[in-house]
Amino acid sequence: MDVEQNIKNLVIARLEVLSENIGISIGSLGNFSKEELICHVRNGDEVGQKIIEVEMDFLRGLKQGNFYGKENPSGDAA
């Protein structure tokens, strides 16, 4: 099994943990039920890729040991 499929399986396993009544709003991408999200991840479309990105962001944070500390640097823009 290739890496991409492994990642999809991991993300789907995490989504299956969500309660059946949960919906998710992803900005202008729309609102989705748990089952719809699982389909999007399987299809690997834009919504699916976004959910995969969230999961990978979370796992990278865990790996780097900055579960609580990692955040976007705030600062001067001008």
Partner 1 sequence: MVKKTLLATRPNFELTTKYISSWASKALEYAQEKEVVIFDLEKEKANRLTLETTLQEYSPEFVFLNGHGDYDKVCGQDNECLISANNNENILSGRTVYALSCRSAEILGKTAVAKGALAYIGYTEDFIFLYDEQQKQSPLQDKIAQLFLGPSNQVVLSLINGLSAQEASQNSKEHFLANVKKTLTSEAPKEQKGIVRYLLWDRHHQACWEKKQ
Site of interaction with partner 1 (CB under 8 A): 14-15, 17-19, 21-29, 31, 33, 50, 54-55, 57-58, 61, 67-68, 70-78
Smallest separation (angstroms) from partner 1 to the CB of 29 = 7
Distance CA 12, CA 7 (A): 9
Length of the chain: 78
Smallest separation (angstroms) from partner 1 to the CB of 52 = 11
- Residues 15, 41: contact at Cβ < 8 Å? yes
- Residues 56, 32: contact at Cβ < 8 Å? no
**2/49 with CB nearer partner 1:** 49
